[in-house]
């Protein structure tokens, strides 16, 4: 996915989960933080940040903080980016496997506009459909924000063989080459894992996809130090047959594209 109107600034401080102060061309600006997570290792005073400028006069802030430079590496922090990048990747997978390109949609509506629609993104690395599809399996429809038993999941991926129920988690925390999730306790995340486990009884093939909003990591692990219950639930889900994948991203100041799979180490970090 691409951003437009990107400018650079220096991080000053965070007022609350939604607002921060940033210096842009010597002027202090109040900006919207597009991630309510803690981000303590990223949002430090003096850090180089990247902001999207908005022309909407109805907005309370004209700038949104979308990325941070950490030790020379750009980390995307936009909490909406993982789902958008995943949708683009799934659409590319759809064409690679012989289906139609996917477009936007909502729960219950098909997202296949036709066989001549262009592939929206080229693969940035080795993240091919093989990890989530069976040999010869074709994606026939992608349904974002799919409702299952009263809960909303990020994607229902329909193929010519089955229905894949996918939940996407964005990852911005990295320690010593290991990407970690969550960076704060998430009871909602635990509930989603339990519901995905139960979906197998209704014939779904559940997948949890961790989209790491940076590149260069060696592996992904659940962050048991922050939320042991989430780590335990993830291990249990794996044992019950839920597919767990992690993908890193090629990130620039104005783009994020899924790049490659990374190893998943479920021993609690």
Please write the tens of the pLDDT for every residue from 7-66.
999 999 999 999 999 999 999 999 999 999 999 999 999 999 999 999 888 889 999 999
Which domains are delineated in the chain?
A: 6-76 (2.40.50.580), 81-264 (3.40.1350.60)
Q: Which residue has the higher pLDDT, 96 or 264?
A: 264
Say how far apart CA 268 and CA 120 lie, in whole Å: 36
Say how far apart CA 202 and CA 229 lie, in whole Å: 25
Question: Which pLDDT value is given to residue 51?
Answer: 98
| Nearest partner of 185 among 233, 148, 219, 153, judged by Cα | 233
Please write the tens of the pLDDT for every residue from 205-250.
999 999 999 999 999 999 999 999 999 999 999 999 999 999 999 9
Range with the poorest average pLDDT among 6-10, 14-18, 77-81, 96-100: 96-100
| Nearest partner of 164 among 227, 234, 93, 225, judged by Cα | 93
**How is 46-97 classified by DSSP, letter by letter?**
T-EEEEEE---TTSS-SEEEEEEEETTEEEE--TTHHHHHHHHHHHHHHHHT
Q: Which two tokens stand for residue 267?
A: 């021993």
């Amino acid at each position: 996915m691409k951003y437009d109107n990107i400018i650079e600034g220096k991080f000053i401080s965070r007022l609350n989960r939604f607002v921060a102060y940033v210096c842009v061309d010597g002027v202090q600006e109040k900006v919207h933080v597009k991630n309510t997570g803690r981000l303590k290792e990223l949002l430090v005073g003096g850090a180089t940040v990247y902001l999207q400028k908005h022309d909407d006069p109805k907005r309370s802030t004209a700038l949104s903080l979308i990325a941070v430079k950490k030790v020379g590496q750009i980390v995307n922090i936009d909490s909406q980016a993982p789902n958008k990048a995943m949708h683009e990747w799934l659409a590319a997978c759809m064409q690679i496997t012989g289906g139609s390109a996917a477009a936007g949609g909502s729960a219950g509506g098909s997202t296949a506009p036709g066989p001549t629609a262009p592939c929206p993104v080229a693969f940035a690395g080795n993240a091919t459909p093989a990890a989530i599809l069976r040999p010869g399996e074709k994606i026939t429809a992608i349904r974002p924000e799919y409702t299952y038993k009263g809960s909303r999941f990020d994607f229902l991926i329909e193929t010519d063989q089955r229905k894949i129920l996918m939940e996407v988690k964005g990852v911005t925390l990295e320690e010593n080459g290991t990407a970690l999730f969550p960076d704060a306790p998430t009871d909602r995340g635990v509930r989603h894992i339990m519901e995905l486990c139960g979906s197998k009884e209704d014939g779904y093939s559940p997948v949890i996809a961790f989209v790491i909003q940076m590149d260069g990591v060696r592996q992904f692990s659940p962050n048991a130090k922050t939320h042991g219950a989430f780590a335990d639930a993830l291990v249990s889900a794996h044992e019950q047959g839920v597919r767990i994948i992690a993908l890193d991203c090629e990130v620039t100041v104005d783009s994020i594209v899924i790049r490659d799979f990374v190893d998943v180490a479920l021993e609690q970090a």
